[in-house]
Amino acid sequence: MTAKTPIPLDQLREQVGACHQCPLADGRTNVVFGEGDPEARVLIVGEAPGKNEDLQGRPFVGAAGKLLDDLLAVAGLAREDVFIANVLKCRPPGNRDPRPEEIELCTPYLREQTRTIDPEVIVTLGNFSTKFILKTEVGITRLHGHVQQAGRFKVFPIYHPAAALYDPTKRAALEDDFATLGELLGTRPRPEG
């Protein structure tokens, strides 16, 4: 059996930009395809664009994005080193949770992005991306910080950075998990001792 040739990211971006498969398309200002290194070792998958992301057409540019940048630095990574995408490419109204039918219609795009980027590690941020990628009902509280496997990809679930904006006690767990990610990748020197 021969594997399907991955679709170039620019071509995928065009497809996603023209998507009207679900009603979220009617409310969007911009599609948020995702951005970063097309050959990244790490694909970061969030939930869905929020207000700022919808306005700018870029992922994680609001408060959670600022925190994500700081956490990436803990792993010894910069935004340009990774590729950042979301489960949904359009903003749900009022930032409500993604609906199952939206996830079903939108995630073939994420699947193609994953095949094209072919990362070493997929970092899933929060419950929605973790449950989708791992096909599990186990929650993020139990899974975060533990390497999992989905097909040929290593998956590393981490709390969604927005969780720390509502509950500052989550910040330490986020920093620990990003430090572990850096150790896994060899981008962060192991602490001495």
Which region, judged by CB under 6 A, interacts with ligand URA, from 14-22, 23-31, 56-64, 104-112?
56-64
The distance from CA 135 to its chain's CA centroid, rounded to whole angstroms, is 15
Asked if 145 is part of the footprint of ligand URA (rule: CB under 6 A), the reply reads no
Binders in 22-41 for ligand URA, by CB under 6 A = 32
DSSP 88-152: -SSPPGGGPPPPHHHHHHHHHHHHHHHHHH--SEEEEEHHHHHHHHHT----HHHHTTS-EEETT
Q: How many CB atoms lie within 10 A of CB 164?
A: 19
Asked if 157 is part of the footprint of ligand URA (rule: CB under 6 A), the reply reads no
Q: Give the one residue of 42, 54, 59, 107 binding ligand URA; rule: CB under 6 A.
A: 59
Asked if 47 is part of the footprint of ligand URA (rule: CB under 6 A), the reply reads yes
How far is residue 18's CA from residue 30's CA, in Å, rounded to a whole number? 11
Q: Which residue, 64 or 181, is less far from ligand URA as judged by CB?
A: 64
Q: Give the one residue of 36, 46, 92, 98 binding ligand URA; rule: CB under 6 A.
A: 46
Asked if 86 is part of the footprint of ligand URA (rule: CB under 6 A), the reply reads yes
Give the residue from 7, 59, 10 showing the smallest Cα distance to 31.
59
Q: Which residue, 47 or 112, is less far from ligand URA as judged by CB?
A: 47
Cβ 64 to ligand URA, closest distance in Å? 5
> How far, CA to CA in Å, does 98 sit from each of 61, 88, 113?
19, 7, 19
Complete edge-to-edge strand list for the sheet that includes strand 121-125:
35-36, 83-86, 42-46, 121-125, 153-158, 148-150
The site that binds ligand URA (CB under 6 A) totals a number of residues, namely 12
DSSP conformation class of 41: S
Q: Which residue, 68 or 188, is less far from ligand URA as judged by CB?
A: 68
Cβ 124 to ligand URA, closest distance in Å? 11
Asked if 132 is part of the footprint of ligand URA (rule: CB under 6 A), the reply reads no
Positions that interact with ligand URA (CB under 6 A): 32, 46-50, 53, 59-60, 64, 86, 162
